[in-house]
Structure 1
Amino acid sequence: MRDIFGDLFNPAALSPEWITDTAVALSREMYHSRDFSAMPILADALQDAGCDSKIVLAHCRGPGPHVRGCWVVDLVLGKS
């Protein structure tokens, strides 16, 4: 449930400047393929774009499980 909704008591957001073409491409591929093994790479892409959100980065680098509907992927894709 946490993969889909995140931490309801400590919600996170993404700054628009963090949503780069690379982050969108990675998120789109994971969303469509349902293969979320690139989540740590997404964390790197977000961090390279200036993301300093410990919540977002920890979620992406965490063990998961990650599923379609992952709140970080949905934020990057503008689905939430």
Structure 2
Amino acid sequence: MTKDCNALALLVRDIVGNPFRPVTFAPSWRSDTALSLAQGMYESRDFSATPILADALQDAGCDNDDVLNHCRGPGPHVRGCWVVDLVLGKE
């Protein structure tokens, strides 16, 4: 049961992020590359490119450790990932 609870907690963190540390996402971080990567991941449900998304966001000026570390972390990453949704402007 504990393993299932841990897996569920990881999924919730991927979708919700940390509600105690909300991220203000700068529109300038939505570069063409970041948008293209996020849209591709969202449509294909293949989130293996999240570390590359972190690089694209950093290249666009993102310096938010929560965003970058989330993308570079082990996941799991699923459709509804809070960073991908921020890039795509979803709420």
Which TM-score tier does this pair reach, normalised by the shorter chain?
over 0.9
Cα distance in 2 for residues equivalent to 1:50 and 1:66: 23
Partner of 1:72: 83
Q: Does 1:33 align with 2:44?
A: yes
TM-score by length of 2: 0.86
Cα distance in 2 for residues equivalent to 1:50 and 1:56: 12
Q: In the alignment, residue 60 of structure 1 is paired with which amino acid?
A: C
- Which structure 1 residue ranges, 5 or more long, are not aligned? none
RMSD: 0.6
Cα distance in 2 for residues equivalent to 1:23 and 1:13: 16
Cα distance in 1 for residues equivalent to 2:65 and 2:20: 15
Q: By how many angstroms is 1:11 displaced?
A: 1.1
Q: Does 1:54 align with 2:50?
A: no
Q: Does 1:4 align with 2:4?
A: no
- Which structure 2 residue ranges, 5 or more long, are not aligned? 1-11
Q: Between Structure 1 and Structure 2, how many residues are aligned?
A: 80
Secondary structure of 2:33 counterpart: helix
Percent identity reads 70
TM-score by length of 1: 0.97
- 4+ long deviations beyond 4 Å: none
